[in-house]
């Protein structure tokens, strides 16, 4: 279990720093540009809820970073799970926003399938990019369950 704990601590430390960085970046963007935000290639930071997503990502990053010591302990793992759930909620909200805004058409009531898929294409918010990386916590939950 010690090897899994070191691997988990390393992963959570790196991922927590990335999440914290994206949260700070969102807060800086809303502070400087407002709700219109900015976009860099496949990444966009904008939206009405930018303050809240920035605060949530900063909090999740801090929770990840605070759970690095003795990672496979149930309390430390629980902090990482809560941080992952926070990312899942924000990413789910962003995915729903992307899908829902792709449905209405400009000239018709509903977009054609091609226009719908084009509306779901990048750029995406940071939470959507963090979503698959946050699912790794399920592996560590299963490892903890098998070890006990």
Express as a percent the part of the chain with pLDDT over 70. 97
Indicate the range of 56-65, 105-114, 126-135 predicted with least confidence.
105-114
Interior/surface letters 9-31, b for 16+ CB within 10 angstroms, e for the rest: bebbbebbebbbebbebbbebbe
Predicted confidence at residue 4, as pLDDT, reads 64
Predicted confidence at residue 83, as pLDDT, reads 98
9-27 confidence digits (pLDDT tens): 999 999 999 999 999 999 9
Question: What would the mean pLDDT of 84-111 be, rounded to a whole number?
Answer: 94
Rounded CA-CA distance 60/62 in Å is 5
Q: Which residue has the higher pLDDT, 88 or 35?
A: 88
Predicted confidence at residue 48, as pLDDT, reads 81
Check pLDDT > 70 for residue 60.
yes
Query: At 135, is the secondary structure helix, strand, or coil?
Result: coil
DSSP letter (8 states) at residue 88: H
**Confidence (pTM):** 0.91
Rounded CA-CA distance 113/48 in Å is 27
Mean pLDDT value across the chain: 92
């Amino acid at each position: 279990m010690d090897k899994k704990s070191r691997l988990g601590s390393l992963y959570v430390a790196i991922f927590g720093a990335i999440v914290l960085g994206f949260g700070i970046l969102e807060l800086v963007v809303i502070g400087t540009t407002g709700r219109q935000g900015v976009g860099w290639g496949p990444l966009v930071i904008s939206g009405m809820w930018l303050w809240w997503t920035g605060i949530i990502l900063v909090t999740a990053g801090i929770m990840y970073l605070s759970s690095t010591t003795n990672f496979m302990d149930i309390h430390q793992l629980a902090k990482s799970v809560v941080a992952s759930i926070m990312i899942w909620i924000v990413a789910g909200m962003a995915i729903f926003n992307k899908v829902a805004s792709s449905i209405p058409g400009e000239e018709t009531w509903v977009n054609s399938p091609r226009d719908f898929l084009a509306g779901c294409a990048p750029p995406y918010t940071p939470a959507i990019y963090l979503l698959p990386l946050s699912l790794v916590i399920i592996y560590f939950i299963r490892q903890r369950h098998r070890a006990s």
